[in-house]
Amino acid sequence: MTGINRLPAPAGLLIDRSRTRTFKFEGQLVDGCGGDTIASALAANDIWVLSRSFKYRRPRGALTMAGQDANTLVQLPGRPNVPADVEPVSDGLDVRGQNYEGSLAHDRGTWVGWLHRFLPVGFYYKAFYKPRGAWRFWAPFIRRKAGLGRVDEAAPRGYFDKAYLFSDVIVIGGGPAGMSAAITAAKAGAEVILVDENPILGGALNYARFDAAGEAGARERQRLVESVAAQDGIQVMTGTVANGWFADNFVALMRGNRMFKVRAREVVLATGAMEQPLVFRNNDLPRIMMGTAAQRLIRLYGIRPGTRAVVATANDDGYGVALDLADAGVQIGAVADLRAEPDAGEMAAAAKATGIRVETGCTISSAIPGGGGRSVRGAVLSRIEGRGTYGGGETVDCDLVCMSVGYAPAGQLPCHDGGRLAMDEKTSTFVLRNLPAHGHAAGSVNGSRALDTVLAEGVHAGWRAAAALGLEAGAEPAVPEARGADDRNHDWPLFPHEDGKDFVDFDEDLQVQDILNACADGFDDIELTKRYSTVGMGPSQGRHSALNALRLVYRATGRSLADAPPTTVRPPYTAETFGVLAGRNFEPVRYTPMHHRHLESGARMMVAGPWMRPSFYGAPHDRERSVREEVRAVRGGVGMLDVSTLGGIEIRGPDAAEFLNRMYTFTYARQPVGRSRYLMMCDQTGVIVDDGVTCRFHERHFYVTTTSSGASDVYREMLWWNAQWRLAVDISDVTNAYAAVSLAGPEARKLLVPLADDIDLSPDAFPYMDVRTGHVGGIPARLLRIGFVGELGFEIHVPSSQGEALWDALMSAGEAHGIRPFGLEAQRVLRLEKGHVIIGQDTDGLTYPAEANMTWAISRKKPFFVGGRANRVHEARPLLRKLVGFAIHDPKAPVPEECHLTLYGNDIAGRVTSAARSEALGCIIGLAYVAPAQAEIGASFPIKIGQGRFLEAEVVPVPFYDPDNRRQEM
Amino acid sequence: MRCPLNGPRNISEFVYGGEVVGMPDPETVSDADWADHVFLEDNRRGVVREWWLHVATAYWFIAERDTATDEIVRTYPSSDVFTERVSFPVPGGKGGGT
Amino acid sequence: MSDGGVSPAELPRRSPVYRELAFAGARFVEAHGGAVAESFAIDAAAEIRTARRLALADFSLLPHLGFKGRETVDWLRRQGVDVGDRDNLAYRQSDGALAARLAPREVLLISDVAGRSGLCKRLAAAASIDEEIEAFPVPRGDGYFWFLVSGERAAAMFAKVCGVDLRTGKFSELEIAQTSVARMNAVVVRDDLGDTPAYHILGDVASAGYLWACLLDAMEEFDGGLAGLGTVRRLAGL
């Protein structure tokens, strides 16, 4: 037998008495059974204090035994804030309490409780924000005091992932209503997922009492569970939480380390109800719990929750609790029935027949704490005189207090997708309104409690879901009598005490007076009350405080509760770990066909848009030297750069030239076949967004390149425009079909000649800016005689499957010429020496062509091109800045960085966009935006380089290197 | 959202492309009206026509969406709206582009 | 690397995942200008069992070719290709190749799983820009990797990376889904190998290595493995 409080079988539906689980709690070894939760195993061993409260450090124990309250949050290794009442025990588990100093039993921080009158509601706002800066002083102290569990930064990485699930119907909640709905819908042929957060199906049937004999629950459970198992088409997912319900019935489920994303056509909401607390002095002591919590302990875990109990109730269910307790061997001190004239219920009659003492029109007004507030030793019964008022008091000895004074629907999920909760005055609880389309509520979430009504509602919801799917579901079953007749909530279960500690919100230690004070401070809208007082903001998210807080706020402000809404409900329904949200973390990476060759050559790779590209080849510490040598190789011999990342788009059809004329700024109608031409693209506001080269291979065929990061945007933009223009042109993105290299340097032609046997590479036959098709090393290729780096060069585009073979062929043929692969860093220096602009680096989201000296690329003769109209507006206005080339001749000057500011007088004129030390030119060169008045050749301007230092730069003509372009046209 | 080509898909497969608006004649429109056209959206409450792109197929289509409820009323190919080849007259007026 | 067969790096056409195949112990044979993985396991019967359960195969070097343009469907019909009349369906040709209709103006042709179909080659040669016909070849054979996922557990594995319901009862043979797989764009075509469910998956060749790793990771819990083309042919009865 594990634990002195363990009841004999058959009590204990979830536990396996044949297996012992030994774990540590606060350093002490504790034995539980297989199937126990941490809290139940501790309760079996008469350990009831699980945590200390957030503000006053009061000892707390389980309130719901359903994972719904913050009282049970414990620390596991690497996992803070674990609800002990649902977390299973396992051998060797090391469990600690949270939120105390010293030990859980003797917290050195309890003095805070004595200060409660100096900790008024809104205390933090009031106390620590004046004088200015005070919060910074107080924050570390308060955070240490108020913290929940500890995050272990060294906790091992878990493996989390996500999966989709598809079904016609998802039924959320595996209780009597949910199981009935699932069976009905599946019988009609629907594919059903039945989800429940508990380890087994059954819901309230597993623990609650529905009749005097105490047999109906087990009987119905057995019938329904067997029917579910026998019914085809139901996928049962227990231990699974539905945590969000989003647009178009997208339901997020969490099970272990996996999130399931379910798209269902119909959703049946059968999530049940949550029992609500009674507010009285010391209602937070350990072993003051919901009636259903006591029933869960008895039936699920086989635990006797006390020796002598007082039950406060306002419905027949409370008598069921009393009967269950009596059956479990607990003496009943008294049943305090809040109702003055209770309806005669079946279980009330049975309870009275056993001789249990029943007081009507009576409440518990206070609980008497035992041993340092770690237990309860008596309940004071008082006569109810009015709404929340009472008189007299008689102390009844007890070590257990059960509260059964009403329920609130677990209606959070539909509120994620437009549903809302509102107060129904007649039943004194929330009702669900505006269920999402294709949502059906059934059972106690719908306000129904009587078992036959719940079952009938389940059948009806299942039928409606099936009917909505167009399935043959037979005649509509009888609609159960409307909820509302079933009134189990007391309309005012709040009995404030002049000495306080009458808790409305256990998470945040808020008492009745705190809520009233918030209203008095002017925060009397429920949303404001919540934020000011923090009511409902703790881990249990108002599950037990929303109803009572609303009652208090509306009464304090003299408003009618009819239709009053609680605070907005947002996802998630329960706490979720970041790992579950992150999942497997899919992030597509793009590699060129030559990627592994780069790695084998010692390349340092860098992220460039969606691509991985070589930054330079060499050891990290050798970066500067490597880049310098790569630059030298291109200027003096031959280098090769992988440019497979350039976007490639085929434009084909009778309107191909007209289409380019509209998309780009230049004119392409008369571009000769076999020639290439520069491309500049603007957006509708006239800002430069991309550039590239177009090759005309045929009257009706252009091959267009884009920047490496711009390919997909340019392609989309082209398709979007032509969806409107409807030109006779086909636009195909072939970026990934081509691998490409840029072979550049004075030796480039010599290297290539032996490989290109069907293309005449001589300068006359293949002049600068021409394009050819043929073969390189036997590989079909498109050759472009263009050069971004300002040397004799060829861009060679080949089918990507042969990109690596091309690389291999060129590297081996180039060996004799001292070929060297170069990376992006060298390319940036080389193109800067030529004054070439990189779109997105030397331009920004506002740069229009005149600012970047690009008006030469604009055709004035075309009727229309994208950005043309806006460009006319820009050009009619004075320039505000201009991109210039600059040189810094001081040999000791550091190289300015991108985005260092340029100044004009005391004003910011612009910024440096590119800068590098040029070996070819023997100075620092760069591009920068300056004021138009500073843009004359020979003018100088200051660059602010940080730490109050300035560099003087001189405006020089571009290109810096080989201004007559002789080298690239060799 | 229902893609006219691919059927119902998760919204994460789509990219929004702005409201469907006619382009004013660039030759006659004032600078201010052009600026209005390129920078401002009406942002109306109610059913509006919008461009949407199904990313996996690079397919642009039009959706009618209620901006108040976020309900997508219907979707259809852009060719239902844009039926004719658009030409821009050469300034001075001598016929189409090609 | 491999016993007796060829080495991929000796041939001009190379699969984007040839290193992964070699690392997994592939036995390569020369085909389509490159080296294709013929088998992985020593025990051929075991590899067939794997393929029936859940396996990934690389088809990237097998012929596949796109056509686009507003006269694509008409022109292909004139070339004797059955392109049917519904988008997002694939149509089987007499030589086993598939014509996958991706859009009203776009068709993707993929060879039979044995790679014997000469359709792509024939059509690539037939298409000429001089013809003034708006049906243009798109080199998907290079732009798209081509994998095949086979086995009873394939749909369950796909549910971890793809939001479209690919279960056999919901996604028919020769149906096409153009969707997001592990957050990249892909074309998925169901094409069973005999009675074993199978799906072609084609997408951006530059992310082939990324997706290969994603799929292997997703397959792990279902006891998935790799299959060579020989195994695939045997399942298909070719």
In this predicted model, what pLDDT tens digit does every residue of A722-735 receive, in sequence order?
999 999 999 999 99
Phi, psi of A587 (to 5 degrees): -140, 95
Between CA B47 and CA B71 the distance in angstroms is 9
- The DSSP string of A108-159 is GGGHHHHTGGGS-TTHHHHHHSSSTTHHHHHHHHHHHHH--S---TTPPPP-
Residues of A in contact with C138 (CB under 8 A): 650, 732, 734, 737
Shortest distance between the Cα of A837 and any Cα of chain B, in A, equals 26
Between CA A280 and CA A393 the distance in angstroms is 13
Question: What is each CA distance from B66 to B13, B47, B73, B76, C39, in whole angstroms?
Answer: 20, 4, 7, 15, 55
Topology, domain A161-274+408-468: FAD/NAD(P)-binding domain (3.50.50)
The domain ranges of chain B are 2-80
The tokens for A603 are 């390349």
Between CA B81 and CA B61 the distance in angstroms is 10
Q: Do B58 and A728 touch (CB under 8 A)?
A: no
What stretches in chain A show pLDDT beneath 50? none
Radius of gyration of chain A (CA): 38
Q: Return the closest-CA partner of residue A13 out of A325, A297, A305.
A: A297
As for the ipTM of the complex, it is 0.96
Between CA A939 and CA A885 the distance in angstroms is 11
Q: Do B56 and C178 touch (CB under 8 A)?
A: yes
Q: Please report the residues numbered 486 through 525 in chain A whose beta carbons come closer than 8 angstroms to any beta carbon of chain C.
A: none
**Predicted pLDDT at B97:** 36
Residues of C in contact with A804 (CB under 8 A): 9, 14
Q: Return the closest-CA partner of residue C82 out of C118, C113, C119.
A: C119
Shortest distance between the Cα of A582 and any Cα of chain B, in A, equals 16
Superfamily of domain A641-831: Probable tRNA modification gtpase trme; domain 1 (3.30.1360.120)
Q: CATH number, domain at C208?
A: 3.30.1360.120
Position C8 in a domain = no
Half-sphere exposure of residue A799, counting CA atoms within 13 Å on the CB side?
22
Between CA A699 and CA A653 the distance in angstroms is 9
Q: Which of C134, C178, C181 to mutate to test the interface with B (most CBs of B within 10 A)?
A: C178
Candidates B38, B83, B90; nearest CB to A863: B90
A–C CB contacts, 8 A cutoff, strictly below:
133
Q: Return the closest-CA partner of residue A810 out of A770, A778, A769, A765.
A: A778
The burial class, CB within 10 Å (0-12 / 13-18 / 19+), for A517 is middle
Shortest distance between the Cα of A293 and any Cα of chain C, in A, equals 38
Tens-place pLDDT, residues A265-292: 999 999 999 999 999 999 999 999 999 9
The domain ranges of chain A are 1-152, 161-274+408-468, 492-568, 641-831, 835-956
Residues of A in contact with B34 (CB under 8 A): 869-870, 873
The pairs formed by A14-19 with CB atoms below 8 angstroms and a separation of 24 or more are: A14/A199, A14/A200, A14/A300, A14/A301, A15/A40, A15/A300, A15/A301, A15/A302, A17/A302
Is the CB of residue A648 less than 8 Å from the CB of residue A733? Answer: yes
Q: Which of A162, A697, A801, A808 to mutate to test the interface with C (most CBs of C within 10 A)?
A: A801
Candidates B5, B9, B56; nearest CB to C185: B56
Q: Which of C165, C179, C201, C202 to mutate to test the interface with B (most CBs of B within 10 A)?
A: C179
Position C51 in a domain = yes
Q: Do B53 and A716 touch (CB under 8 A)?
A: yes
> What does the pLDDT profile of chain C (238 residues) look like in tens digits?
445 579 999 999 999 999 999 999 999 999 999 999 999 988 999 999 999 999 999 999 999 999 999 999 999 999 999 999 999 999 999 999 999 999 999 999 999 999 999 999 999 999 988 888 999 999 999 999 999 999 999 999 999 999 999 999 999 999 999 999 999 999 999 999 999 999 999 999 999 999 999 999 999 999 999 999 999 999 999 8
Residues of C in contact with A778 (CB under 8 A): 12
Candidates B11, B88, B98; nearest CB to A655: B98
Position C46 in a domain = yes
Residues of A in contact with B11 (CB under 8 A): 247
Q: How many domains does chain C have?
A: 1
Is the CB of residue A632 less than 8 Å from the CB of residue A791? Answer: no
Question: What is each CA distance from C4 to A544, B70, B78, in whole angstroms?
Answer: 72, 62, 56
**CATH number for the domain running over B2-80:** 3.30.2270.10
Between CA A641 and CA A786 the distance in angstroms is 13
**Predicted pLDDT at B98:** 36
Residues of C in contact with A165 (CB under 8 A): 159
Is the CB of residue A929 less than 8 Å from the CB of residue A851? Answer: yes
Is the CB of residue A324 less than 8 Å from the CB of residue A294? Answer: yes
Residue type, B96: G
* A673–chain C Cβ distance below 8 A for any pair: no
Q: Do A166 and C170 touch (CB under 8 A)?
A: yes
Q: Do C103 and B57 touch (CB under 8 A)?
A: yes
**Predicted pLDDT at A110:** 65
Shortest distance between the Cα of C34 and any Cα of chain A, in A, equals 9
Candidates B10, B34, B98; nearest CB to A658: B98
- Domain that includes residue C157, residue range: 41-238
Whether the link from the prior residue into A10 is cis, omega within 30° of 0, is: yes
Q: Do B12 and C180 touch (CB under 8 A)?
A: yes
**CATH number for the domain running over A1-152:** 3.10.20.440
Quick one: CATH architecture of A492-568? Orthogonal Bundle (1.10)
Residues near A729 by beta carbon (within 8 Å), at least 6 away in sequence? A651, A652, A653, A654, A655, A656, A658, A659, A722
The tokens for A742 are 């840029």
Q: Do B6 and C179 touch (CB under 8 A)?
A: yes
**CATH number for the domain running over A835-956:** 2.40.30.110
Candidates C66, C142, C159; nearest CB to A800: C142
